[in-house]
Amino acid sequence: MAQLSSPKKDAILKEMALSLLKNKEFILRANKKDIAQARRRGIALAFLERLTLSEKRIKEMAECLIQISRLKDPVGGVIKAWATPNGLRIRKVRVPVGVIAIIYESRPNVTSDCIGLAFKSGNSVILRGGSEALTSNLAIFKLLKAVLINNRIPEGAVSLLATADRSALDVLLKQDAFIDLVMPRGGEGLIRRVIKLSRIPIIKHYKGICHVYVDEEADLNMAQNICFNAKVQRPGVCNAMESLLVHERVAGRFLPGMLKRFKQVGVEIRADAVTKRIFKDVESATESDYRTEYLDLILSVKVVKDLKQAIWHINHFGSHHSDAIVTDDAATAQKFLKEVDSACVYVNASTRFTDGYQFGLGAEIGISTDKLHARGPVALEELTTYKYVVYGKGQIRT
C-alpha cells in the first residue's frame, strides 16, 4: 500500500466514484432495507435522517472521492532533511500509519469517505459502522473493494466488520499487534467505550464546546456578526458556538441587541444573573449548561470581569476545540491566543472555520480534541507518520 504511485491511486479513486454513480440503484436498495428495519424498531427521526441515502447523497459521496483524488499525496513528502557533522544525510519522510480502524455510527457515506482518505494516504483500513446501517455499508464497501481488487490492490487494503455482534468491537480493540490506530467517530458513549477497551492508540473527538469572548475593546458590530454566525449558521456541528462570554464593560451595550437577534431566529438563551439584569427575557444557566454541547439552537451566556476570567472559563468548562476572541487590542488578542488551550484559537473570526476544507487542508476524517499526533482537523497528512531515512558512506559510531 505504501509503495503505490499517486497517479495509480488517483485513477482508482476516480473509478470508485464512477462505480458509486453507476450502481446507485444497488446502494439505494440496500439502504431501503436498513431504513425499513430501523422503522420497524421505531428509531428516532433524526437518526433515520442520518441513515437515509438519496441519489443526491450518493452523488456527494462520489464527488468526495473525486476531491480526494485531486488532493496532494502526503506519502513520500520530505518533512526535513539535514546532514550531521560526520556526513550522515538524514531525511524525515512521510509514510502511511499502517492499519487504521475506524468505528462510526449511522451515516453510510462515512464508509466511502473513510475508504477514500485511507487509500489515498497509503493506509489499510478496517471499518466498523453502526449495525443499523450494515446493509448500506456493505453495499458501498463491496462496490469499492471490487474496484481495488480489479486493480490488483491487496485484499487487506479495506475490510468491513460485517456483523451486528457488539462484542466484535472488544476483540478488534485488543489487536494492537496488527492495528496501528483507532479512530472512533460518534457520541461520547462510543468514545468512552473505545478508550476503556482499546490497547491501540486512539485519535478522538470528544465534544465541541466552543466559545466566543467579546472583549471590552471589541468592534461590537463585528462581534455581533461573528457570534450570530458561530451560533446560527449550522448549530448541529462541533465548531458552532455553545457559550458566549462578554466583558462586563461592554455587556450593557452589546447584549440587548445581540440577544434580541438570537431570539428572533429562535435561539433559546440560558444566562447568568448579570446577563439577566441586562436582558430579562431569558432562562437561568446552571453550571452544567456551561459544560454542555447543545448542538442545537440553545446558547449559554456569561458576563465576565476580565480577560483572565474569560480564559479561565474557557480552559475550565470548554472542550479544547475552537474558541474565539473579538477584540481590537493586539496585546489582549495575543494573551488569549497563547493562554487558551484549544486546538484552534481565533481572533476576530467565527469558530465555524475549524474544518479541514476551510483550512485548506482538503477533506478531513474528523476533528481531534486530542493533543498527540493530530490536533484539530485530521486530513490526509494527519493520517501519515514518518520514518528517518539515513544515507551513509560507511560511518560507524566511535
The C-alpha R_g of the chain, in whole angstroms, comes to: 24
By the rule CB under 8 A, 3 interacts with its own copies: yes
Which string of x and - marks every residue 215-234 that binds its own copies (by CB under 8 A)? ----x--x--xx-xxx--x-
Tell me the number of residues near its own copies by CB under 8 A.
65
When the beta carbons of 141 and 346 are compared against its own copies, the nearer one is: 346
Residue 40 touching its own copies (CB under 8 A): no
Nearest-approach distance from CB 48 to its own copies, in angstroms: 28
Written as one string, the DSSP assignment of 4-56 is --HHHHHHHHHHHHHHHHHTHHHHHHHHHHHHHHHHHTT--HHHHHHH---HH
Whether 100 and 126 have beta carbons less than 8 Å apart is answered as yes
Question: Which region, judged by CB under 8 A, interacts with its own copies, from 33-41, 56-64, 82-90, 125-133?
Answer: 82-90
**Minimum CB distance to its own copies, residue 267 (Å):** 16
Region near its own copies per CB under 8 A, out of 65-73, 95-103, 244-252, 297-305: 95-103
The CA distance from 42 to 40, in Å, is 5
Binding string, residues 171-210; x marks residues near its own copies by CB under 8 A: -----x---xx-------------xx--x-xxx-------
CB of 91 to its own copies, least distance (A): 9
Q: Is 207 within 8 Å of 291 (Cβ atoms)?
A: no
One symbol per residue from 42 to 81: x for binding its own copies (CB under 8 A), - otherwise; what is it? ----------------------------------------
- Which of the residues 335 through 374 are near its own copies (CB under 8 A)? 337-339, 341-350, 352-354, 358-360, 370-373
All residues at 6 or more sequence positions from 181 whose CB lies less than 8 Å from its CB, including other chains = 97, 98, 99, 100, 101, 200, 201, 202, 203
CB atoms within 10 A of CB 165: 10
Residue with cell 560511518: 395
The answer to whether residue 387 forms part of the interface with its own copies (CB under 8 A) is yes
Q: Which positions ≥6 away from 380 have C-beta within 8 Å?
A: 68, 71, 72, 73, 74, 117, 120, 121, 361, 362, 363
Q: How far apart are CA 119 and CA 274, in angstroms?
A: 53
CB 205 within 8 A of CB 263: no
Q: Write out the binding residues for its own copies, residues 281-320 only, by CB under 8 A.
A: none
Q: What are the angstrom distances between the C-alpha of 346 and each of 30, 62, 206?
A: 43, 33, 20
In angstroms, rounded to a whole number, what is the distance separating the alpha carbons of residues 105 and 187?
8
CB of 41 or CB of 196, closer to its own copies: 196
Contact with its own copies (CB under 8 A): which of 98, 159, 252, 309? 98
- Of the pair 30, 75, the CB lying nearest its own copies is at 75
Scanning 14-22, 93-101, 252-260, 304-312 for contacts with its own copies by CB under 8 A, the matching segment is 93-101
Q: Which amino acid is at 110?
A: V
Cβ 175 to its own copies shortest distance, Å: 13
CB closer to its own copies, 23 vs 348: 348
Q: DSSP code of 369? A: -
Q: Name the residue among 119, 145, 143 with its Cα closest to residue 6.
A: 119
Answer for which of 7, 154, 257, 392 binds its own copies (CB under 8 A) is 392
Residues near its own copies (CB under 8 A): 2-3, 82, 84, 88, 90, 95, 97-98, 176, 180-181, 195-196, 199, 201-203, 219, 222, 225-226, 228-230, 233, 337-339, 341-350, 352-354, 358-360, 370-373, 375-376, 385-398
